[in-house]
Structure 1
Amino acid sequence: MNPMQNPLNTPFTPFTTAEEVAHGAHLSGKTVIVTGGASGLGLETVRVLADLGAHIIVPARNTSTARASLASITNVEVAEMDLIDPASVRIFAERFVATGAPLHLLILSAGIMTPPLFRDSKGREGQFATNHLGHFRLTATLWPALKLAGGARVVVLSSRAHQLPGFDLTDLDFARRPYDKVAAYAQSKAANALFALALDIRGQNYGIRAFSVHPGSVFGNLTKHASREELEAYGILNPDGTPQIDPAQDKKNFAQGAATTVWCATAPELDGLGGVYCEDCDIAYVEAEGGFGVRPYAVNPDLAEALWTESVRLTGIDVQG
């Protein structure tokens, strides 16, 4: 386990909003890339970071829709990128690196949840390919720009779903197991936490620190593949179809859900720390069972290294020293 995986006992609560966390922070002159930044939690993250003075780039598959969503926010530009398409990710990232600009913050907020089985062009299971491998490719290709920052942070959105059974390093594509959409989502979210841990180990000497985040259970576009019955069963929707908002029970709105991401991106108390899983604007407890905290396997350095090795094999790309 990462020895840094211990709560800092911050003054924040599940009710804290991203704006409240960001109070007093300044990002003038800083460049930020936010995947998934045109909707939901990503959009709220972009709005708050832009208010701090950051210049933000939002890669998006549908650029016209993204520009419409972001039109009211200053200091934001949109670029084309499809996270599941390796060539699209490479083109976006290489174009940014070619500018010679440093990248101070990389926030990996995009994702999909519980769709029917689909695979990428190389046969990889779609949730793992999008949520993990796409972000792995993006980060590795942007590595030179992160190094140029002389102190960068990478924030990876994981989920409490990592606690559900499903992670199997020997069958990441559900080639031997029957496909289970929830298990596949859980596997991709465990991979996000393990990725942040392995990335942090590689980045420390360059001042690059990585964090994984559980934002809370938030009703938004991520739930589009879930039925009304499933959402009600998970306690996300009220019977009248409105989202349940009860931060004490992890059911948050966008402002509360984006708070931990913004905290990981800006908090001075995280200087010198990294590779940790965070929730409710603090480093999470390690919990072997129960509803809160991070499972031991999701912060296991050996498993993180094994996943990194397999990710390099699957993508053909690695970070360069």
Structure 2
Amino acid sequence: MAPTDQHKIGSGFGVTSTAAEVVDGIDLTGKLAVVTGGYSGIGIETTKALADAGAFVVVPARRTDTAAAALAGLSTVEVAALDLGDLGSVRRFADDFLASGRAIDIVINSAGVMACPETRIGPGWEAQFATNHLGHFALVNRLWRALSPGARVVAVSSAAHRYSGIRWDDVMFARGGYDKWLAYGQSKTANSLFAVHLDRLARDQGVCAFSLHPGGIHTPLQRHLPRAEMIALGIYDEDGNEVPGRFKSPEQGAATQVWAATSRQLADFGGLFLEDCDVAGIRDSDELSAKGVYSYAVDPDEAARLWDLSVELTGVNAFTRG
């Protein structure tokens, strides 16, 4: 369903809530979660919150040594190799997981790259669309047989989806004119549309999907931004100090995706765009700081069209109709 103000839930959580607060009182013992990017930034806070609530968390990682070191203190976490920019790696991870015979209760697509220089991966694909969207698309479809009835799939989008809808005439910037922010925005729109259509396809089988804006958080995601641009964006002041009050903490930034994955209040919903631990309304405003989601990012026809394109590009589809 498209999000509107009438769908506001009143979760009792908000901008300053943390992932630990969101799962307080929720018992995830016996549940298994897969969290991409679950060893850095808001991802590691997501992993910690789920593990502390009793879940076993599988963290697919491109840098497995780094991930293992970051998660060393958590006994119910498993690190496995996965490069979302390599569909062969996605297939190998999924095949190994399926061979283990385990069921999945939660998938959180938290890994991503932001505003990187023009990079081509695979068959010449633009790296942000390929990594942020296509890699996760292929991953969830390949893992589909392992998802339990009642499972939730959470796609981490961003308010930056407002930079660009899907560029249907040149998704991969093949005609030149690469713009790192348009590419990032398109990939974040794709994350939202993925959740919209997956929820439509999966609901009959008891699986629901959500997307979300986690809020502004200063994490390694900004590693491709030069200092001058970070000052221009208001991340740093002229002296190079982080602007106070500009960002959520990583613990706060992880709250909405953990809420999406675990909240009992969302049991009868799906396909929604969330922010600050509640449902976002549609706000077709040019102001990036305004709350809400652009209508094109939750449009079911756009979502179906993107699904078909993603199947064509990846060759992967867990659903034969719909």
Matched with 1:314 is 313
Q: Is the counterpart of residue 193 in structure 1 residue 192 in structure 2?
A: yes
Contact 2:3 2:273 in 1 (8 A): no
Amino acid in structure 2 at the alignment position of 1:185 = Y
Matched with 2:291 is 292
Matched with 1:168 is 167
Ranges of 4+ aligned residues in structure 1 off by more than 4 Å: none
Q: Take 1:70 and 1:286, find their aligned partners in 2: how far apart are those partners?
A: 37
Q: Is the counterpart of residue 269 in structure 1 residue 268 in structure 2?
A: no
- What SS does structure 1 have at the residue aligned with 2:115? coil
Q: Take 1:204 and 1:73, find their aligned partners in 2: how far apart are those partners?
A: 33
Note the alpha carbon deviations across 1:279-307, whole angstroms, 9 max, x for none: 00001010010421000000100000000
Matched with 1:120 is 121
Q: Take 2:225 and 2:254, find their aligned partners in 1: how far apart are those partners?
A: 22
- What SS does structure 1 have at the residue aligned with 2:78? strand
Query: Offset at 1:309?
Result: 0.4
Matched with 1:57 is 58
Task: Pick the aligned partner of 2:279 from 277, 283, 288.
Answer: 283
Matched with 1:76 is 77
Contact 2:156 2:213 in 1 (8 A): yes
Contact 2:3 2:281 in 1 (8 A): no
Query: Offset at 1:213?
Result: 1.2
Q: Take 2:255 and 2:244, find their aligned partners in 1: how far apart are those partners?
A: 15
Q: Is the counterpart of residue 252 in structure 1 residue 248 in structure 2?
A: yes
Query: Offset at 1:245?
Result: 4.7
Q: Residues 102 and 112 (structure 1 numbering): CA distance in 2 closer, same or farther, change over 3 Å? A: same
Q: Take 1:165 and 1:316, find their aligned partners in 2: how far apart are those partners?
A: 25
Structure 1 length normalisation: TM-score?
0.95
Contact 1:55 1:76 in 2 (8 A): yes
Amino acid in structure 2 at the alignment position of 1:227 = P
Q: Take 1:243 and 1:53, find their aligned partners in 2: how far apart are those partners?
A: 35
Matched with 2:206 is 207
Contact 1:155 1:210 in 2 (8 A): yes
Matched with 1:10 is 11
Number of aligned residues? 316
Query: Offset at 1:320?
Result: 3.3
Note the alpha carbon deviations across 1:239-272, whole angstroms, 9 max, x for none: 44343353xx6x2110110000110011000002
Query: Offset at 1:19?
Result: 1.0
Query: Offset at 1:166?
Result: 5.3
Q: Take 2:15 and 2:82, find their aligned partners in 1: how far apart are those partners?
A: 33
Query: Offset at 1:229?
Result: 1.5
Amino acid in structure 1 at the alignment position of 2:161 = H
- What SS does structure 2 have at the residue aligned with 1:252? coil
Amino acid in structure 2 at the alignment position of 1:264 = A
Query: Offset at 1:184?
Result: 0.3
Query: Offset at 1:12?
Result: 1.6
- What SS does structure 2 have at the residue aligned with 1:151? strand
Note the alpha carbon deviations across 1:67-117, whole angstroms, 9 max, x for none: 000001220010111110111000101111122211000010000011111
Query: Offset at 1:3?
Result: 5.9
Q: Residues 150 and 166 (structure 1 numbering): CA distance in 2 closer, same or farther, change over 3 Å? A: closer
Amino acid in structure 1 at the alignment position of 2:15 = P
1:85-234 mapped onto 2 (5 Å cutoff): 85-146=86-147, 149-165=148-164, 167-234=166-233
Note the residue ranges of structure 2 that are not aligned, 5 or more in a row. Answer: none
Q: State the identity as a percent.
A: 48
Amino acid in structure 2 at the alignment position of 1:2 = A
Query: Offset at 1:127?
Result: 0.4
Q: Take 1:15 and 1:268, find their aligned partners in 2: how far apart are those partners?
A: 20
Contact 1:81 1:88 in 2 (8 A): yes
